Amino acid sequence: MTERKPGKKLTRRERERETRRAEIIAAARKVFAAKGYDAATLDEIAAEAEFAKGTLYGYFDGKRDLFLKMVEEGFDEVADVFGEALASADDFDGGIRALIAAELDYINEHRDFFDIMMSYRTADPEHVRRLRELMIQKLIELGDVVGGYIQQAIDAGEVKDYGARFLAVRLITMAHDFAISVLGGYVDYTLEEGTDIVIDLFFNGVRVGKK
């Protein structure tokens, strides 16, 4: 996302530039989801965004840069969604429930982005390396957003201390895996059932009764 100082009012030109950039990112999502990274071209993305191909180079260095920026902004959107969900709750359990519900809703509403990530293939080893580094960085950032919330519960004695970031990443990936299983038709559950199921598995596991 474009960095700017808090409270700074954008000029009309800056607003127009941000709008164009967002339109290019949205167009890239559609094309990458439909064609895959290797098969997609900047010509197709420019056509989808209704810009000349040269316009894209005013915002991105090329296809690789555009793809990575698209992924980065997707994860940043998720972080914002997580933060808002946690801030909306009155207690720890309510925050975790709001978080999982928000994650499942986001995945459902942005299937193109997750289709891209799940079906991603490329013969470009440098791109693979940079994407892997970016995803690790962004997953750590998401873990820290949620981990700070979980750490408060650890400090209060509500949750076992296995490490706040570790628990946060496990929770996030459990919800993600559940959504992908549902959307992929691998299980007979619905996304609406997901919040209760993920919370139950996270807190109680699969064992019935006491050890």
For domain 10-60, give the CATH superfamily. Homeodomain-like (1.10.10.60)
Rounded CA-CA distance 203/184 in Å is: 25
User: pLDDT tens across 109-151, in order?
Assistant: 998 888 787 767 777 888 888 988 999 999 999 999 999 999 9
**How many alpha carbons lie under 13 Å from residue 36 in its C-beta half-sphere?**
8
In this predicted structure, what is the pLDDT of residue 69?
A: 94
- The phi, psi pair for 91, rounded to 5°, reads -145, 175
Question: Per the structure block, which two tokens stand in for 105?
Answer: 């809703």
Checking if the pLDDT of 28 tops 90, the result is yes
In this predicted structure, what is the pLDDT of residue 14?
A: 84
User: pLDDT tens across 4-23, in order?
Assistant: 555 578 788 888 889 999 99
DSSP string, 129-194: HHHHHHHHHHHHHHHHHHHHHHHHHHHTTSS--S-HHHHHHHHHHHHHHHHHHHHTTSSS--HHHH
Burial of 6 from C-beta contacts in 10 A (0-12 / 13-18 / 19+): exposed
The pTM of the full predicted model, rounded to 2 decimals, is: 0.83
Sequence spans of domains, the chain? 10-60, 62-204
Q: Which CATH number fits domain 62-204: 1.10.357.10, 1.20.140.10, 3.10.129.10, 3.90.550.10?
A: 1.10.357.10
In this predicted structure, what is the pLDDT of residue 210?
A: 61
User: pLDDT tens across 30-76, in order?
Assistant: 999 998 888 999 999 999 999 999 999 999 999 999 999 999 999 99
